[in-house]
Amino acid sequence: MHELLAPILWVIDKESLPTASGYAVDNDEDAIIKQTIDVGFVEHDTFALFSALMKSAKVNYEYNDEGTDQDYSRMIKEVQAEAAKLTPVVMRCNKIHEEYLKMIDPELYSHLKNLEIEPQLYGM
């Protein structure tokens, strides 16, 4: 989830202004804008935006801790059993890497595989 949170924090931090004290407030609109982008609320604003984003994105990050049925786990390969515990976003990245990238650009696929770069590092 850090790949979602980091850009939000970075933008809010870069767009914030020092505390409103010391500014000559011309009108109410200026006061509202200065309060909205006050540097003292960077963490708060980041959390609020991140929480709103995660309401729709959480399904991609929910971890299936239960795994698979014991009998079924013994029947399938070890890799597939581990894949059953992955988050949906990691499973999508693996599918893109193992199926689509392998078919469309085998040279890049092999290069990333040889370097042992996990698909979720470049696929999110």
> What's the pLDDT tens digit per position in 56-112?
887 777 665 554 455 545 554 555 556 556 677 788 888 888 889 899 999 999 998
> What's the pLDDT tens digit per position in 3-18?
889 999 999 999 988 8
DSSP characters over the chain: -HHHHHHHHHHHHHH-BS-STT----SHHHHHHHHHTBGGGHHHHHHHHHHHHHHHHGGGT---TT-S-HHHHHHS-HHHHHHTTS-HHHHHHHHIIIIIIHHH-HHHHHHHHHTT--HHHHH-
Whether pLDDT at 20 is above 70: no
- Confidence at 38, pLDDT banded by 50, 70, 90: confident
Q: What is the pTM of this model?
A: 0.53
pLDDT of residue 37: 85
